[in-house]
Amino acid sequence: MDEWRMKPIGHVRSPYTDVQQIPKGLGAQHAAEGTIEILPEFEAGLLDIEGFSHLLVLWVFHQVEGFELVVTPPADTRPHGVFATRAPWRPNPIALTVVELQGRAGSVLRIRGVDMLDGTPVLDIKPYTSNVPPEQLRRGWLADAEDRKARQ
């Protein structure tokens, strides 16, 4: 059977020690600062990363067990398929956050835009290199929920 084993390349240091502290829902701002401490054996993989202003960080919802296929996310009062949301109860508990890279000191990346718990395992980091043309972007139920909130 197809199965892949993933191990941490490092861990997040964050001001958040409880999920209740992490801003969620419509208009949530992720301005918190923290670091990613890469394991020493992977530090060489960071060469030239400081040239990028933003990184895609893939990490594990390590405190979540099991999954739900239909969820009601914090940004809405209506249920949606889990693959149409960022909810943590996913078949593969992988999360993705775009963070701003503020600096690097050896194996430690200083980042802004943290929405992870302290101690979160990181699986991968990739450079953020391009946007979707804004005029082509449709945001489904999220845009609808924002519209409803704006009319309240």
Non-local (6+) Cβ contacts of 116 within 8 A are 12, 14, 16, 22, 34, 57, 59, 95, 97
Strand partners, 59: 95, 122
Give the contact letters, 108-127, x = binds to a second copy (CB under 8 A), - = no: -------------x-xxxxx
CB of 18 to a second copy, least distance (A): 20
Q: Which helix (H) or strand (E) holds 143?
A: helix 140-151
Interface pattern 54-93 for a second copy (x via CB under 8 A): x-x-x-x-x------xx--------xxxxxxxx---xxxx
Does position 53 interact with a second copy (CB under 8 A)? The reply is yes
**9: closest CA among 53, 60, 49, 66?**
60
Beta bridge partner(s), residue 124: 58
Min dist CB 133 to a second copy, Å, is 9
Supply the minimum distance, in Å, between the C-beta of residue 23 and a second copy.
15
CB distance 87 to 73 below 8 Å: yes
Residues that bind a second copy (CB under 8 A): 1-9, 38, 42, 44-54, 56, 58, 60, 62, 69-70, 79-86, 90-94, 96, 98, 100, 121, 123-129, 131-132, 134, 136-144
